[in-house]
Structure 1
Amino acid sequence: MGEVIVAEAKASIAGCRRWVGILRLPEYDHLRQVRYENKWIVLEREIKIGAGIDYDIADEDILFLKKYYANTEEEIYDILKVIDIEPCKFTYPWKVDYPM
């Protein structure tokens, strides 16, 4: 996958952290031999605090992972509005401790 921009959002459960990442999908993944129908993916995930300090997150640490797909920037803005994230909050992953 390509580069990602990320925003940290308010967690829905105390003791957790929530992130939203936006990634541009390649037109074709040569390794998996898959052609993507969408241009963008928006990943929303929430994990328990303390899990993944070394970014090795186990499945049981992930409280939820949602995927949204978009083909235009307008669709991305619509998704962000629905999940209540301001576009101006997005930054580089390392600035918000985003677990890759």
Structure 2
Amino acid sequence: MATLELINLHCHRQQDVVGYDEARLTANGVARTYVIDKGGDKSLRGWNVEFTGSTTVVLDEMNGNNNTRLGSAPIHETGNPKTVDFKTTGAWYTLTFKVT
């Protein structure tokens, strides 16, 4: 069994043209939403997810009941990078994490 420790979410370029993004990060079925704007960081310290084999982290940008999928990334027990980028034509986020 491994533990995914989510560390930080950084917004390089937000999806919404006006206002803030409502970035919903889902890890192992648990979702949390963060209000963030361009250049912003959200500390995710304390959010740890236990998993076996692999799990998937998903980032959506919420607009009321509509969401835009910014990307998903498989996370494995071994051999992971320390960051993953979620990029679309309108948005760019970097998630920093570690697996122990």
Structure having the higher strand fraction is: 2
Q: Same fold (TM over 0.5)?
A: no
Relative contact order, higher structure (CA 8 A, sep 6+): 2
Q: TM-score, normalised by structure 1?
A: 0.39
Task: Look at both structures and tell me which one has the larger radius of gyration over its CA atoms.
Answer: 1
Larger helix fraction of residues: 1
